[in-house]
Structure 1
Amino acid sequence: MPKVFLNYRTGDGEQLATIIDQDLRRRFGDEHIFKDHRSIQAGAVFQKALENGVWGSKVLLCVIGPTWLTAADGTGRRKIDNPEDWIHRELVMAFDHGVRVIPVVDERAKSPLPVKELPQRLKRLADLQYQVYHHRDPDTLLNRIAQDVLDFVPELKDLTEPAKQTGESATRNEVHGGGVGGVWRDPSIGTIISGPGNQYNGDVVGGSQFNGPTHAGTGTFNNARTINVREDDGSAEGEGRR
């Protein structure tokens, strides 16, 4: 059952509704997003499918374009004033069934919605916090809508989020080359390349600063931050990491 229902008027907000629909389907999957002509199967009873879509959803996104308030029918009457208008009906059903309604306003439309211009049963729409779509910055709105959906439908999972590494997989060192003389990769400090001898995992070798990969010759492994070499006998003293 879809969790998010897209409410929009053809000729006013279908382009923005399509952008939102495509982004949400990419994040959460087709089956969780309802958009009339895409979601209703051929031969299904249109009215029943829309009603079930609204009642079964947890979030209704009301897409408001530039002519949302003023679009008129053949008689000159505003469509939004007609109780049988589908935009009107879907919003009333959402309010009556406790569905979270989030207005999404095209930047070219009037915002906030003027309460005096709304029909009686839709006046509460003017009191709702809304999101504004800016055509030059679409990602900002799409990210906000996705977060709103997750806030109200926490069981959904954003499929575009990278898998989080945990435990050993996030911190393990990768060794290539068979130990000594190979390439050691530590995520916390970068790549260190050792020569024929053992590896020094430090910042300063023999008093010299290395900004790139550290090359070490023969010697012993020392996991110290600083290695001081005494000239008298060539032995090393290390200052441990803090």
Structure 2
Amino acid sequence: MSKIFLNYRTGDGDQLAATLAEALRHRFGAHEVFRDGTSIRAGSAFPQELLQAVRRSRVLLAVIGPHWAAAPQLRRADDWVRRELLEAERCGIPVVPILSGAAARPLRKEQLPEELAWLADTQGLPFTPYRSTIDLAHICDELAQLVPDLTDVTVAPPPAQGGVQSSITGGNQGTAVQGRDFSGDIAGTIYKGNNGPFHTGTGDQHFHHNSPRFTGDGGTFVAGTNNGGVNNGGVHNHYTGERSDGEERR
């Protein structure tokens, strides 16, 4: 169900409707915006689709171009721009006029058919090409306040607890690729520093100076130059638990 319904007249607002749809979908998600040209699937009966979409929406944006009020179609009962606006009023859905272009002015009651005279008393929002970025952002901000359950999909969610807090750190001590927090249950993590790489199993790992210190089973690290000599380092395994089934844990 789309929360935002775009109402516009072809030839006097369709380009702005497409621009609005793109900006609103970027801000709130594609599923939250209904525009007939892209939201009604082929083979669907558009009269039912349009009226149902209006009834299910939380706000209707009426794109008002410079010649919108003078259109003769607006006086006809079968005009879809008119029908959508009247359906929104009947269902108690807020209607926000989007006043398009530098020549657009707030509507006056004498310009409108009697059934739509209430639009002249409805606060609208401007859109002008020379400040389109500012106006689009303002329209989106106003809708976010008008419909509080709209979600801003451009805001990245905070990292989940226990998730990746950092990916790579560098410097003279080498680089670290971290799968989880340093203080936590780390599995499958590789650290590489001046003393060689260190691959953890499970447990808590801490690094200070040039040497690793860790607790938990299954840790494997290479320290020193690894030339094969005892004093030069080599591959070491660390186990704190008991053997299982006669074999060392690995």
TM range (shorter): 0.5 to 0.7
Match of 2:183 in 1: none
Cα offset, 1:154, TM superposition: 1.7
**RMSD of equivalent CA atoms:** 2.8
Instruction: Report the AA paired with residue 103 of structure 1.
Output: P
Match of 2:35 in 1: 35
Cα offset, 1:147, TM superposition: 1.2
SS of the residue 2:21 aligns to: helix
Q: 1:86 aligns with which of 80, 92, 96?
A: 80
Match of 1:45 in 2: 45
- Higher deviation after alignment, 157-166 or 133-142: 157-166
Per-residue CA deviations over 1:60-97 (Å, capped at 9, x if unaligned) read 000011221122xxxxxx11111221111100100110
SS of the residue 1:21 aligns to: helix
How far apart in 2 are the matches of 1:139 and 1:164? 27
1:1-242 correspondence to structure 2 within 5 Å: 1-71=1-71, 78-163=72-157, 176-177=170-171
2:66 touches 2:105 (CA, 8 Å); kept in 1?
A: no
CA gap of 1:164–1:146, structure 2 versus 1, over 3 A, is farther
1:65 touches 1:108 (CA, 8 Å); kept in 2?
A: no
SS of the residue 1:137 aligns to: helix
Higher relative contact order (CA 8 A, sep 6+): 1
How far apart in 1 are the matches of 2:170 and 2:34? 50
Instruction: Report the AA paired with residue 131 of structure 1.
Output: L
Instruction: Report the AA paired with residue 143 of structure 1.
Output: A
How far apart in 1 are the matches of 2:170 and 2:104? 62
How far apart in 2 are the matches of 1:39 and 1:93? 18
How far apart in 2 are the matches of 1:46 and 1:177? 62
SS of the residue 1:63 aligns to: strand
2:55 touches 2:87 (CA, 8 Å); kept in 1?
A: yes
How far apart in 1 are the matches of 2:112 and 2:146? 26
How far apart in 1 are the matches of 2:7 and 2:160? 40
How far apart in 2 are the matches of 1:103 and 1:36? 18
Per-residue CA deviations over 1:100-141 (Å, capped at 9, x if unaligned) read 110001124441101111111111111111111110110111
SS of the residue 2:5 aligns to: strand
How far apart in 2 are the matches of 1:110 and 1:141? 14
Gaps spanning 5+ residues in structure 1: where? 72-77, 183-242
How far apart in 2 are the matches of 1:116 and 1:40? 34
**How many pairs does the alignment contain?**
177
How far apart in 1 are the matches of 2:169 and 2:104? 60
SS of the residue 1:102 aligns to: strand
CA gap of 1:138–1:164, structure 2 versus 1, over 3 A, is farther
How far apart in 1 are the matches of 2:102 and 2:79? 23
1:67 touches 1:109 (CA, 8 Å); kept in 2?
A: no
Instruction: Report the AA paired with residue 22 of structure 1.
Output: E
How far apart in 1 are the matches of 2:88 and 2:104? 22
TM-score, length basis structure 2: 0.63
TM-score, length basis structure 1: 0.65
- Dislocated runs of 4+, deviation >2 Å: 107-110, 161-167, 174-179
Gaps spanning 5+ residues in structure 2: where? 176-250
